[in-house]
């Protein structure tokens, strides 16, 4: 039997679960279900990444022993995921004992093979990323220190004894791997990105810390703990029995490794396609077959982040949307591999259009007609006229086509296209029903044969679609299966064993089950209003945690620090300035705000400043204001000025000391 091993990243327990985590896990679940249904001996792994200085600090802040703190967050993840019908075979935790044993064994193998050595490391370290940055990569903070390019918080200068991994020795082997195995990194655009990074040269990597206590001690040198990424990446082999007796150990590991599909977000691609294969090469182990980097869910066009307050809350999602609706939306809406914007409006529209009016409606109209016109028994196909028979055959062919396309696309992880194929078969049968008008046939004295053919064809389409769609819609397809009067688990029916007409072979007297709505239509406006209320309640709860200690004076609406941090203010330098034709008040500037290209910004200060005198001046720019057009010109930010007197004379804000362009104000 062919095997299939699929993994997700293991999630950091330093933040709470959100839609992004759910997404990767549900993609992996769909793939695992899809493979199982097609006869693969499948192993599906997910889990949590629980070591590192951040987690130690978070526990300290919470006043809890670290293990107790992480147990709480792991539970939160498991609870948040529990209503999505995930079928993971295991949940790995990096604090599990068997994992620690496996990590140490991997370390020892790499060391014996000469790829780990002891040295001294000095560099700029971000404790949020758990990564060192080169000075060139870091941003300058206003006080002259360096900022993490991701978190925009000061980097720590760390000098310590450290173990190093000889990553530099693997540059050629990695390039050869990418070239000879085009499927190792997918999609293609990501592969090119990684190849150019590796071509740029690889430095040896520090893989231990003496400053971090909450980690796995280095074998024979317990002053050091193993770098969290080394620890975390190893989970993919330790969880299936490498270096320990988990699931029987070695034999189980050998059965499933190498992984067939490692799903990751594009944010952690480099770790999985440069470090991870190099570690495995260094230990003499096989390499995963495919690392697939999917895109990110954005919210309001921006990366989801707690600071911006735009994270999609899983509790809200679960309150208003059925399991299958969320699963379907995530797979259908986002082109796998690209970024996608998440909005509740789009989710509601998809559910209503594709699930309520599509699959749900097909199920209820077909079953209701079987109940009303055929006494609840799915009829055998009747001997209808040639034209109707041709149309019924076309429906059958459309279903066969949907099966072929669905598999072809899912094998390539093109989920959204696979689903489109199923929905086009649905559209075909809908048209067949509408054209044949079974409600009229039922009234005609000689319409019985035609009616039977229509309802047989519709029921068979439904039965086939239930089998096809079970990896994506596990709950509703089972409901459809039971309402059709079928027994057992639809997920256990292999598509290859399905036969058209199978339902009429269920034996005389077999009846459909009780008809219940599968996807009730959602009232968009009402639900959107409720969601907004829930979101502002949770926003208020969050704000209350940071509530100011003074009462607002009359006339002052206090904001909290989160509100303030939503406005991005940066130092800019005016590079060019010119009047705008036919606009007395406007000047058009290009301003260097520390980005590769200067921004074009318009300001209504022409009556008070001569443009040429402003060149070289340092100003404060709001850099995250949505661009807008003024007199046909796009303004990509706002320059701050005091507004004086009744006429509102502008006085540009500036600095008395030297400041670098792009420095953030906070």
Task: Select the span of 21-29, 213-221, 317-325, 568-576 touching ligand ME8 (CB under 6 A).
Answer: 21-29
Give the binding range for ligand ME8 (CB under 6 A) out of 18-26, 363-371, 485-493, 621-629: 18-26
Question: Residue from 53, 73, 80, 232 that binds ligand ME8 (CB under 6 A)?
Answer: 232
435 sits near ligand ME8 (criterion: CB under 6 A): no
Does 230 bind ligand ME8 (CB under 6 A)? Our answer is no
How far from 11 is each of 331, 496, 498, CA to CA, in Å?
A: 20, 36, 39
d(CA 574, CA 589): 7
**272 among known catalytic residues:** no
Q: Are 624 and 533 in contact (CB under 8 A)?
A: no
Cβ neighbours of residue 608 under 8 Å, at least 6 residues apart?
649, 650
**Per the structure block, which two tokens stand in for 627?**
């661009």
Site string for ligand ME8, 243-272 (x = CB under 6 A): ---------------------xx-xx----
Burial of 390 (0-12, 13-18, 19+ CB in 10 A): exposed
Q: Measured between alpha carbons, how far is 44 from 30 in angstroms, rounded to an integer?
A: 10
Q: Which of 4, 5, 12, 115 binds ligand ME8 (CB under 6 A)?
A: 12
* CA–CA gap between residue 443 and residue 524 (Å, rounded): 37
Let me know: does 380 contact 508? Beta carbons within 8 Å. Answer: no
Q: Which is nearer to ligand ME8, 293 or 641 (CB)?
A: 293
User: What does the block give as tokens for 565?
Assistant: 């941090």
The reply on whether position 34 binds ligand ME8 by CB under 6 A is no
150 binds ligand ME8 (CB under 6 A): no
Q: By C-beta, is 116 or 304 nearer to ligand ME8?
A: 304
| C-beta of 133 vs 297, nearer to ligand ME8 | 297
* Shorter beta-carbon distance to ligand ME8: residue 339 or 420: 339
Site track 390-409 with ligand ME8 (rule: CB under 6 A), x = hit: --------------------
Q: CA-to-CA distance for 407 and 415, rounded, in angstroms?
A: 10
226 φ/ψ angles, rounded to the nearest 5 degrees = -75, 135
- Does residue 114 contact residue 169 with C-beta atoms inside 8 Å? no
According to the binding rule CB under 6 A, does residue 296 interact with ligand ME8? Answer: yes
Q: Among residues 16, 129, 166, 252, which one is catalytic?
A: 129
d(CA 312, CA 525): 19
End-to-end CA distance of the chain: 60
Task: Please say which residue, 101 or 431, places its beta carbon nearer to ligand ME8.
Answer: 101
Rounded CA-CA distance 224/78 in Å is 31
Q: How many residues bind ligand ME8 (CB under 6 A)?
A: 18
99 flagged as catalytic: no
Helix (H, G, I), strand (E, B) or coil at 292: strand
24, 127, 273, 414: which one binds ligand ME8 (CB under 6 A): 24
- Does 588 qualify as catalytic in the annotation? no
Reduced to 3 states (helix: H, G, I; strand: E, B; else coil), residue 10 is strand
Output the six-digit token pair for 360.
């749900």
Q: How far is the CB of 24 from ligand ME8 (least distance, A)?
A: 4
Q: Check residue 21 for interaction with ligand ME8 (CB under 6 A).
A: yes
Q: Which of 69, 100, 111, 126 is catalytic?
A: 126
Find the part of the chain contacting ligand ME8 (CB under 6 A) among 16-24, 344-352, 482-490, 598-606: 16-24
- Least distance from C-beta 195 to ligand ME8, angstroms? 20
Task: Tell me if 52 contacts ligand ME8 by CB under 6 A.
Answer: no
2 or 338: CB nearest ligand ME8: 338
Q: Is 129 considered catalytic here? A: yes
> Nearest-5° angle of CA 437, CA 443, CA 448?
80
> Please, what is the minimum distance in Å from the beta carbon of residue 139 to ligand ME8?
21
Q: Which residue's CB atom is positioned nearest to ligand ME8? A: 20
Part in contact with ligand ME8 (CB under 6 A); list of ranges 7-15, 53-61, 151-159, 595-603: 7-15
**Best CA proximity match to 363, nearest among 443, 462, 261, 257:** 462
Go through 444-471 and write b for each residue having 16 or more CB atoms within 10 A of its CB, e for each that does not.
eeebbbbbbbbbbbbbbbbbbbbbbbbb
Pick between residue 24 and residue 623 the one whose CB is nearest to ligand ME8: 24
Identify which of residues 50 and 324 has a Cβ nearer to ligand ME8 in the complex. 50
Q: Which is nearer to ligand ME8, 49 or 96 (CB)?
A: 49
- Phi and psi, residue 274, nearest 5°: -120, -65
Site membership for ligand ME8, residue 440 (CB under 6 A): no
* Residue 297 interacting with ligand ME8 (CB under 6 A): yes
Residue 11 binding ligand ME8, by CB under 6 A: yes
* Alpha carbon distance 176, 385 (integer Å): 63
Is the Cβ of residue 49 or residue 486 nearer to ligand ME8 in the bound state?
A: 49
Residue 214 makes contact with ligand ME8 by CB under 6 A: no
Binding status of residue 92 toward ligand ME8 by CB under 6 A: no
Question: Does 20 engage in binding with ligand ME8 (CB under 6 A)?
Answer: yes
Question: Which 3 state secondary structure label does DSSP give 597?
Answer: coil
Which phi and psi (to 5°) does residue 518 adopt? -90, -50
Among 78, 306, 319, 443, the active-site one is 306
Residue with smaller CB distance to ligand ME8, 10 or 405 = 10
Smallest gap from Cβ 296 to ligand ME8, in A, equals 4
Tell me the CB-side half-sphere exposure of residue 635, using CA atoms within 13 A: 19
- Give me the catalytic one of 18, 51, 99, 456: 18
Q: Segment contacting ligand ME8 (CB under 6 A): 10-18, 172-180, 418-426, 573-581?
A: 10-18
E strand spans, 475-568: none
Q: How far is CA 354 from CA 225, 358, 423, 519, 569, in A?
A: 51, 5, 8, 10, 43
Considering the rule CB under 6 A, would residue 5 count as an interface residue with ligand ME8?
no
Strands 649-652 and 569-580: unpaired
- Radius of gyration over every alpha carbon of the chain, rounded to an integer in angstroms: 30
| 9 part of the interface to ligand ME8, by CB under 6 A | yes
Q: Does 447 bind ligand ME8 (CB under 6 A)?
A: no
Residue 98 has which token pair?
Answer: 């068997």
18 noted as active-site residue: yes
SS3 content of the chain, % helix, strand, coil (to 5): 45, 20, 35
Catalytically annotated residues: 18, 21, 126, 129, 148, 151, 303, 306
Residues in touch with ligand ME8 (CB under 6 A): 9-12, 20-21, 23-24, 49, 232-233, 264-265, 267-268, 296-297, 304
């Amino acid at each position: 039997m062919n095997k299939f091993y699929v993994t997700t990243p293991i999630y950091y327990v330093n933040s709470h679960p959100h839609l992004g985590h759910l997404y990767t896990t549900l993609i992996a679940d769909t793939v695992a279900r899809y493979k199982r249904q097609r006869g693969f001996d499948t192993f599906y792994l997910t889990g949590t990444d629980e070591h590192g200085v951040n987690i130690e600090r978070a526990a300290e802040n919470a006043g809890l022993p670290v293990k107790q703190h992480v147990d709480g967050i792991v539970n939160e993840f498991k609870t948040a995921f529990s209503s999505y019908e995930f079928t993971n075979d295991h949940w790995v935790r990096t604090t599990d004992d068997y994992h620690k044993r496996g990590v140490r064994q991997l370390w020892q193998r790499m060391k014996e093979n000469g790829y780990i050595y002891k040295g001294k490391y000095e560099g700029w370290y971000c404790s949020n990323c758990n990564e060192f940055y080169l000075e060139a990569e870091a941003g300058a903070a206003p006080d002259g220190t360096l900022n993490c390019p991701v978190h925009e918080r000061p980097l720590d200068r760390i000098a310590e004894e450290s173990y190093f991994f000889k990553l530099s020795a693997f540059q050629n082997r990695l390039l050869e791997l990418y070239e000879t195995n085009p499927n190792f990194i997918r999609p293609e655009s990501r592969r090119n990105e990684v190849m150019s990074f590796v071509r740029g040269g690889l430095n040896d990597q520090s893989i231990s810390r003496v400053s971090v206590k909450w980690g796995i001690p280095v074998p024979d040198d317990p002053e050091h703990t193993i770098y969290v990424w080394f620890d975390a990446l190893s989970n993919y082999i330790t969880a299936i029995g490498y270096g320990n007796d988990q699931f029987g150990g070695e034999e189980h590991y050998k059965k499933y490794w190498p992984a067939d599909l490692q799903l990751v977000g594009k944010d952690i691609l480099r770790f999985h396609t440069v470090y991870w294969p190099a570690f495995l090469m260094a230990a003499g182990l096989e390499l995963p077959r495919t690392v697939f980097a999917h895109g990110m869910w954005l919210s309001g066009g921006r990366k989801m982040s707690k600071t911006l307050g735009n994270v999609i809350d899983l509790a809200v999602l679960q309150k208003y949307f059925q399991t299958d609706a969320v699963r379907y939306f995530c797979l259908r809406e986002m082109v796998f591999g690209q970024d996608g914007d998440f909005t509740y409006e789009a989710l509601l529209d998809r559910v209503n259009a594709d699930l309520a009016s599509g699959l749900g409606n097909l199920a209820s109209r077909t079953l209701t007609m079987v109940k009303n016109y055929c006494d609840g028994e799915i009829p055998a196909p009747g001997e209808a006229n040639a034209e109707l028979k041709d149309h019924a055959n076309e429906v059958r062919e459309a279903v066969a086509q949907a099966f072929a396309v669905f598999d072809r696309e899912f094998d390539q992880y093109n989920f959204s296209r696979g689903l489109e194929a199923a929905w086009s078969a649905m559209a075909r049968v809908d048209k067949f029903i509408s054209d044949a008008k079974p409600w009229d046939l039922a009234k005609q004295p000689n319409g019985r044969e035609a009616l039977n053919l229509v309802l047989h064809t519709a029921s068979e389409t439904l039965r086939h679609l239930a089998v096809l769609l079970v990896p994506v819609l596990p709950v509703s397809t089972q409901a459809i299966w039971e309402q059709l009067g079928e027994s057992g688990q639809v997920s256990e029916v292999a598509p290859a064993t399905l036969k058209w007409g199978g339902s009429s072979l269920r034996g005389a007297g077999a009846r459909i089950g009780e008809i219940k709505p599968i996807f009730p239509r959602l009232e968009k406006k009402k639900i959107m209003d409720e969601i907004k209320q829930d979101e502002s309640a949770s926003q208020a709860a969050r704000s209350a945690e940071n509530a100011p200690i003074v009462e607002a004076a009359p006339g002052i609406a206090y904001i909290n620090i989160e509100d303030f941090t939503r406005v991005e203010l940066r130092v800019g330098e005016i590079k060019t300035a010119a009047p705008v034709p036919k606009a007395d008040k406007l000047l058009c500037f290009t301003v260097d705000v520390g980005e590769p290209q200067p921004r074009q910004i318009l300001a209504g200060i022409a009556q008070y400043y001569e443009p040429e005198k402003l060149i070289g001046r340092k100003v404060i720019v709001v850099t995250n204001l949505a661009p807008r057009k003024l007199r046909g010109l796009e303004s990509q930010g706002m320059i701050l000025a005091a507004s004086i007197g009744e006429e509102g004379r502008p006085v540009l804000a500036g600095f008395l000391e030297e400041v670098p362009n792009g420095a953030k104000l906070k």
